[in-house]
Amino acid sequence: MMRTAKIILFAALFLPALFAANVGAAAEAEQVFKFYCAQCHGLNGKGGGPNVTKDFPVTPRDFTNTAQMNKLSDNDIRGIVMDGGPSASKSPLMPPWGKTLSDGDVDGLVKLLRKFCNCKGKPG
Contact residues for ligand HEC (CB under 6 A)? 36-37, 39-41, 51, 58, 60-61, 68, 72, 77, 80-81, 85, 90-91, 93-95, 97, 109
Question: To the nearest whole angstrom, how small is the minimum distance from the Cβ of residue 33 to ligand HEC?
Answer: 6
Nearer to ligand HEC, 1 or 53 (CB): 53
Nearer to ligand HEC, 11 or 68 (CB): 68
Report d(CA 9, CA 12) in Å as an integer: 5
Q: Which of 34, 64, 67 is nearest to 47 (CA)?
A: 64
Question: To the nearest whole angstrom, how small is the minimum distance from the Cβ of residue 23 to ligand HEC?
Answer: 21
Report d(CA 74, CA 60) in Å as an integer: 18
Question: To the nearest whole angstrom, how small is the minimum distance from the Cβ of residue 124 to ligand HEC?
Answer: 15
Report d(CA 109, CA 101) in Å as an integer: 10
